[in-house]
Chains A and B, each alone.
Chain A
Amino acid sequence: MEFPAALFPSYFGAGPPREEGGPAPAAGWGEHGQVLEAGTGRRQAETAFVPRRGGTGESWEPADAAAVPFLPPNASCWVPLLAPQDILYRGVLRRKLRAGKSGAALDFTKQLGHFFVDHPEDAFGSLGQLLHKNFYLGNSKLRRQARDSTIRMTALMEEIDRLEARRGCPRQHLASRLRWFSHLCRDWLFEVPLGLLADCVHEELLLQWAGLLFDDSPTAGALAWLPPEDVGACTGRLVYPGGQAMNHLYFQDVVLEELPRARGSPAQFELNGRIRQVAAARVDGEDFVGVRSDYYCGVWRVPGRTGAAPTPLQVIRTGVPASCLTVSPHLPGELAVCTQSGAVYLWSIETGLQRLRHDPQTMFFRDHSPWRWSDFTAHPRVLSCADRTGLQCLDTRAPERCHFDLFKVGEEAGCQQGERVVLPLYLGRAHPSQHLVTTQFSVYVLDERLPLVPVLKWAHMMKAPPLFAHLTPGGPGRSHKVLLGASRTQELMLLQYRGGSRSACQLVGPPQKLHSIAGCLQHLPAQLPHRHRLLQQRLGAPAAGLAAALWEDGPRESLLVFQLSEAGDVFCQRLTHEAVQPPAPTSGDEAPAAPGSSPLFEAPASSPPGLGSEEEEEEEEEEEQTFYLSNLEVIINEEEEEDAGTPAVPEEAELTQEPCASPQPSLAVPSPAAALRYRRWLKALYKVCREPPRQAWPPTLSQKRLFTRKELEAPAGPSTLHWQARQRLRQAMREGGRIQRWDPPGPQPPALLQTLEPAWGPDPLSARLTAAWSGDWWQWWEERSSFNMAQKQRALRERRRRQKRARGRRSLSASFTSSLTYQSELSEVSDAAPPPVSPSRPPVLPGEGSPPGGSPPASPAPDEALLSSQSLRCRGIPKERRKTLRDYLAVWAEGPPEPTEPPGSPASQLCIPSSQSQLSSASQSQLSSASQPRRKRPRMGF
């Protein structure tokens, strides 16, 4: 391993960075940096110079028009991430805030309000329970004696409702009643003291906002490629997370082809947390895969031969979230772990954890980020440790004493103000002593042998900090390929560099942008708007990982780049490099774009290549049209729209669309194979992501005007059946569904006890609470248990009596169920589950013996019971309303025509209308099963 005989000239200063940073969109272009004499020029007549940047590199051309789905969509309905508008304030204050230049304002009150509404139990639990009797929310006036201990809150509620509606009104005044109430209750109403709760909510909001701006938890990415064991083979493995919570780890065999494909089903492990990072290294022909989630890190061993199953080796748990996990390329089963508390560990499978450093402070200057990183170096016992301020190398055998600074954010490396380390990466496969360091502005290549002075520096101009990096080493005389990936914007960039041993490091070739996942949206077939929206969100999800595989196919080399999104989708693209041919001019150069002609109109000129083999001709046409449309749509440009339209913050998806919003010069069309994959992927996606439950409810019928609450209230001791029927009715009305048939309730053993509980006393909880407050809770319990005993005895007695009665009427129920069960079973059934009816139930109720057990369907009894005029009258429903109710219910009772009758249900057509009921014919025909038993016989053999 040689050291370059001469390095590129550079200044070296010490101290904090002097250069003022700022948005520099084109900072990476047009510079050679420095020049150096090429080779030993003294013997040549003319000295030749090589530039530090701008030399000729290899040409890698994208083989397809966009990234192609590599795996079927992740089997989960992906929940879109938090968007700025969720937590930012949008209201009247906006203008003031803008004038004050205070930037973003978090909508703190909204979040607190959400908390109160969504978790009332947690917010007001105990006091709410205690006070609920004293707050009256109804409309009617309070009676005199109740007025002493109860206050009416209805007006207050209305006031609150109105407050929301009046938001934005300049003449808004806080109602005095509200102010009065809040002053009164602020100190005691809340379960958690309001100040404390507010602090917590605010802190969480700040965290969320910081995560929205920059989230470092997926640093280094959760995608790893395990190359095939021998160079010629073309079956490697891809390790990626999946599942709804991204907590399943998959090892998938992959066959490298023009469009790589998965072979067989993946090996799968379910883990205990969301997978943040997957790191892999090969030692002695075995791959070691480290997996980091927030509080757990695990390591797997994957034997080199294909088909061998990966074995989990060890798991560690951390008290503080881990921020880094790297696998040693030198020794099997050795890893470096960092936690956010500032600790760095060397983790060996055999010897366990060794803490090398614990320092909550950052190394070179103070920075509040708890992020730490560690990686391996050329020496197997030396680790590099990084925080946002720089990198240090330390010897694991004497970590306190033996260390040196490798990289410092400061004048040493010519950094800008505000620059921070985002991702360090050991480039050992390219050169044993090289490291890559990315910051939000630049990318540096460092050499351990020349610490502090970057041997290469380049402003990468990426819109988001590069959180992922991947190295594909080039052989002798070739350039090393470095892929940089950003998370939120999905940017992917390919850089090439060479040198390090014989010659100084040079950045060669222009940097190149690769396709992002979101870029394939325009190549997908046309979608309905809501699906388009879904797709946009799904494809625009931040990237979560990056991996690449080199595939050699004769003289042609391909670089297959895999990209993982946070939704768990893996996309793939191929770059080709013709080793023999001279680099052909790029497609962009060849496109005959006449000056003045807008690229806008070029787009639809060419048509996609013939796709005769595909079965769906129509779809192809559609696709062509889609492209045209989408192209136009892209040019119309969201930016204008978003300005003209809602003053809201633009959507996440649009945000990520922005970088690829430029008009395309030539119509690049995905290959037929890629198009097929798109279609399959879409199909699978819609299968996976079923339509979410519809947000807008169908119009509901209000029952408020039909009956007052009082009217609907059962008189004294309503029957269970009544109660249940009413419940069902209410539920059906609430859901806007239909009452198809009156299923008798399922077996509800506790129902008996519940109904038997005295209706006269206070409800048990209040009684208990009252008892607890007054201190004689124990007594209450004693009472209750003895009361329960008595109650149970009474219930038992009641049951026996009822059974006796039922036996007398057995012929009725027997005929009803005989089509379903044998006699013996029937008795068993009726024995086992006593009918949940109270003794006070009106005797008209039919079918009482039948209901529970096997829940034979279609007993229309409750219907009738509820609607019989007697029962209506006895519940105090006025005459004129009785008719309305009956009509209303008749509509529902008619229900859908049931094509197949459930087994054992009586044939309704043959029933004779019951004499007792005067209901409409439809319900009549269904209800008489019990009273007309003889008609059931013919049904026996049905």
Chain B
Amino acid sequence: MDSFLEEEEEAVAKSPAAQAGSALLPALHLPFLPPHLYRPASSHEHKLNFKKSKEVCLTYIQDAMLQKQWKRAAEFLTFYIESLEKDFSTEYMGPSEMIWRIGTEILCHHSHSSMKEFNSFIEQMKTLGVKRYLKVCLEHAFHLLCNGLIDEAYQNLSLAESWRFGEQTAIQDKEMKLIQAYRGLLDYYSWSKQKTILLEHGQDGFEDLSVEQEMHSCFRKAAVNLREIIKIPGVWDLFVKCYVDLLEFYGDHNEARQVLNEYAYNSKFPANPNAHVYLYRFLKRHGESKKSLISALKILHDIVPSHELMIDFNTMLQKSRFEVFQRHCVPIPWEEHIEQQCPLEALIRELWKQQLFKQGSVGEKKKTSSGARSYFCSLGLCWLEGKCESMELFGKTGETNCNL
């Protein structure tokens, strides 16, 4: 019990470091502030402190791991496990979490570890702490997935999904959503597998009702879980792709379009270039009008001017009105030139030629002559100034062309 008190005291002693605003605090909140800087007095009472030896042991483990001496780290870890006996700490990361993390890392790299050992270790870890049960489950599933054990991972995820313990914290809620989403993802993969089977067999003229039913149930399970996660702001490329695929297969184009629009244009979501790519591809698959296609690519052009879809964008713009073209496009076959690494001069000449040609073809000479010049200038200057390796000339600088 006295050690418990001691730890309490330590925790309180450390807390000044966390308080903000004191003049004695550094410009930066330091994670591993040497404690003696805050407590200039260290006395005999902590000499044989359990906590102290714990810390030293942890230092040794870290040291060994950072030098890739997994075996040595494992030996030290066996000693460190003793620290669990008095784990009353209120610290941010308790010993049980550290043991889980360190043990996982060691087992991932240790030359003699096997999947069986890994699984049994993780099962023990799951029982160690309630707070991070979901996290451990999720990581376990990841490990299984990376090792190609998809079925085991699926079982694991379903087990974790059914776990209930009191009131969930925000973080646990997020983890639960992720678990469900990954399970949905695996459902989707089994759905698509059955789909291929069914399609192949369907070509043979043979239909298996049970396979079809199973496929539909997979669809339902996947769709429910995936729909949930993509409502939450985040980067969900994988899930969105799968969900849209499901919807498209079942002909729910409106829902798919809505999902993609949401994913691309909702301001709560990050400015993810892939969201626009998916939307554009979807629209293109469904033969949408050029205008909507162009508008779908407009933002992508702002974020990633060097994206491969910009070639499509250019061609589309070239076909549409010239003003629009002038404002937005980069009218040279970039890829080709960049790959050949043609000299700058030739590139500009090419550009100029194209520009003149365009003027002629569109036939709006009054406007275009000055426009072309400024356009050329902007491009040429950019290149002359830049000579940059990348092709991102107009990214983030929407006003560039107008200014020059």
Contact = CB atoms under 8 A, between A and B. Distances in A.
A440 B397 contact: no
A2 B308 contact: yes
A415 to B, nearest CB: 12
Contacts of B62: 25-26, 461
Q: Most A CB atoms within 10 A — which of B91, B145, B192?
A: B145
B73 to A, nearest CB: 8
A4 B308 CA distance: 11
Contact of B28 (A10, A30, A31, A420): A420
Most chain A beta carbons < 10 A, residue from B234, B382, B391: B234
Interface stretch (A48-56, A251-259, A774-782, A930-938): A48-56
B42 A380 contact: no
A138 interface: no
A589 B69 contact: yes
B219 interface: no
A382 B24 CA distance: 38
A709 B263 CA distance: 95
B385 interface: yes
B32 A23 contact: yes
B100 A11 contact: no
A662 B60 contact: yes
A195 interface: no
Interface in A1-32: 1-14, 18-27, 29-32
Interface string A382-400: 1000001000010101100
Contacts of A12: 233-235, 268-270
Contacts of A382: 395-397
A616 B47 CA distance: 43
A463 to B, nearest CB: 4
Interface stretch (A205-213, A727-735, A879-887, A908-916): A205-213
Given A9-B178, A46-B148, A465-B28, A30 B67 contact: no
Q: What is the size category of the interface that chain B forms with chain A? A: 35 or more
A37 interface: yes
A513 interface: yes
A511 B68 CA distance: 8
A418 B28 CA distance: 8
A381 B397 contact: yes
Interface in B292-324: 303-304, 306-308
A42 interface: yes
A32 B69 contact: no
A14 B270 CA distance: 10
Contacts of B71: 588-589, 591, 593
A380 B271 contact: no
A510 interface: yes
A390 to B, nearest CB: 14
Interface in B39-93: 39-44, 46-47, 52, 56, 58-60, 62-72, 75, 78, 91-93
Nearest to B144: A49
B399 A9 contact: no
B176 to A, nearest CB: 12
B68 A588 contact: yes
B170 interface: yes
Question: Which bracket fits the contact residues of A?
Answer: 35 or more
A655 B46 CA distance: 18
A6 B235 CA distance: 9
B331 to A, nearest CB: 19
Given A47-B150, A103-B22, A18 B170 contact: yes
B189 A380 contact: no
B385 to A, nearest CB: 6
B168 interface: no
A867 to B, nearest CB: 56
B337 interface: no
B330 to A, nearest CB: 14
Contact of A663 (B33, B60, B142, B387): B60
Looking at B58, B65, B241, B303, the one whose CB has the most chain A CB atoms below 10 A away is B65
Contacts of B218: none
A4 to B, nearest CB: 8
A754 interface: no
B238 A36 contact: yes
B386 A381 contact: yes
Interface string A433-458: 10000001100000011111100000
Given A397-B403, A453-B270, A595-B75, A13 B233 contact: yes
A135 interface: no
B287 to A, nearest CB: 23
Contacts of A106: 24
A404 interface: yes
B16 A647 contact: no
**Main SS of the interface on chain A?**
loop
B59 A378 contact: no
Contact of A639 (B17, B52, B385): B52
Given A381-B386, A662-B60, A213 B26 contact: yes
B275 to A, nearest CB: 10
Interface in B174-196: 174, 178, 181-182, 189, 192
A330 B387 contact: yes
Interface in B351-380: none
B157 to A, nearest CB: 12
Interface stretch (A81-89, A150-158, A855-863): A81-89
Given A9-B239, A588-B64, A599 B28 contact: no
A440 B30 CA distance: 6
Interface stretch (B103-111, B159-167, B199-207, B340-348): B103-111
Contacts of A33: 142
A4 B273 CA distance: 9
Given A9-B238, A449-B304, A368 B145 contact: no
Contacts of A658: 34, 59
B247 interface: no
B347 to A, nearest CB: 16
A31 B307 CA distance: 32
B399 A23 contact: no
Contacts of B72: 588, 591, 593, 599, 665
A24 B100 CA distance: 13
A107 to B, nearest CB: 10
A379 interface: yes
B143 interface: yes
Contact of B238 (A37, A214, A379): A37
Contacts of A462: 32
A30 B60 contact: no
A432 B64 CA distance: 35
Contacts of A420: 28-29
Nearest to B390: A432
Nearest to A331: B385
**Considering residues B36, B143, B307, B385, which has the most beta carbons from chain A within 10 angstroms of its beta carbon?**
B36
A853 B42 CA distance: 64
Given A22-B93, A650-B36, A588 B67 contact: yes
A104 B235 contact: no
Given A23-B93, A103-B22, A665-B72, 20 more contacts: A2-B308, A9-B234, A22-B18, A23-B31, A25-B62, A29-B104, A33-B142, A90-B40, A103-B38, A213-B26, A213-B28, A213-B37, A214-B27, A402-B397, A448-B395, A449-B395, A591-B72, A599-B72, A662-B60, A663-B60
13 contacts: A11-B174, A12-B234, A12-B270, A21-B29, A29-B105, A30-B105, A49-B145, A84-B36, A214-B30, A395-B396, A588-B67, A643-B42, A659-B63
A-B pairs, top 10 by smallest CB distance, nearest first, are A588-B69, A22-B92, A30-B104, A418-B29, A30-B101, A213-B26, A513-B66, A432-B390, A6-B237, A29-B105
